[in-house]
Amino acid sequence: MKVLHWINRLIAPFRHLSSVTEAEEFLDLSEEPAENTMFLGKDYPKLDSIYRRKNLKTRVLVLNRDNWKKHEAVQAARKLADRLELRFGYSSNDKVMKHFDAKYKYLSLNNQMNAGFQSVIVFNHEN
């Protein structure tokens, strides 16, 4: 099962998040992230106890409209594919970006400092 999830993370290194609801559900560290990918399909084998026993669970949310940054996120996610407690999400959706900007202000701050409306947000949870 671990090997299937590792292969899945190489093929589909991040979840594309197209709505605020999807993004918020993705960031819920108490739940194993949904893996409805072309490789695993809808009825995939879950990690269940393997995920629950991990001491540190991490989600990385990349918010960006730049395709080059998307490429960089893919490369980073593939390099860390063996970490089953880590999952990358990506969104270029304006509503998602504005929602997280209102919540955390990272996008506006980055825009002021670097003239770019992008951000990476990392969420960790220790058991």
* pTM reported for the whole predicted model: 0.81
Cα(46)–Cα(35) distance, rounded to whole angstroms? 9
Structural domain spans, the chain? 2-126
- Report the pLDDT value the prediction gives residue 41, as an integer from 0 to 100: 87
What percentage of the chain reaches a pLDDT higher than 70? 85
pLDDT per residue as tens digits for the range 81-94: 999 999 999 998 98
